[in-house]
Amino acid sequence: MQGKLNKTVFFIGFMGAGKTTVARKMAKICSCECVDMDYYVERITGKKVREIFAEGGEEAFRKIEAEVLEEVSTGVAPRFISCGGGTVLNEKAPAIMHENGVVLHLYSDASNSARRISDTSTRPLFKDVQNAKKVFRERLPIYEACADYTVDTTNKWSNQVTKEVFSTLVKAGVIEETQE
Query: Which range binds ligand S3P by CB under 6 A, 21-29, 93-101, 123-131, 168-176?
Result: 123-131
Helix axes 129-146, 93-100, angle to 10 degrees: 50
What track of x and - describes contact with ligand S3P for positions 51 through 90 (by CB under 6 A)? ---------------------------------xxx----
Q: Which of 25, 79, 105, 123 binds ligand S3P (CB under 6 A)?
A: 123
Question: Cβ closer to ligand S3P: 15 or 34?
Answer: 15
Contacts of 145 (CB under 8 A, 6+ apart): 94
The residue count of the chain comes to: 180
CA distance linking residue 24 with residue 34, whole number of Å: 6
Minimum distance, C-beta of residue 41 to ligand S3P, in the bound complex (Å): 8
Nearest to ligand S3P of 66, 125 (CB atom): 125
Burial class (CB in 10 A: 0-12, 13-18, 19+), 7: middle
Query: Using the rule CB under 6 A, which residue among 1, 60, 66, 125 binds ligand S3P?
Result: 125
First to last CA, the chain: 7
The CA distance from 134 to 124, in Å, is 14
Stretch that binds ligand S3P, among 3-11, 103-111, 120-128, 149-157 (CB under 6 A): 120-128
Nearest distance from C-beta of residue 30 to ligand S3P, angstroms:
21
Residues 140-179 within binding reach of ligand S3P (CB under 6 A): none
CB neighbours of 162 closer than 8 A, spacing ≥ 6? Answer: 1, 22, 25, 26, 29
Which is nearer to ligand S3P, 3 or 73 (by Cβ)?
Answer: 73
CB 149 within 8 A of CB 105: yes
Q: Which residues sit at the interface with ligand S3P, rule CB under 6 A?
A: 15, 19, 38, 49, 84-86, 123-125
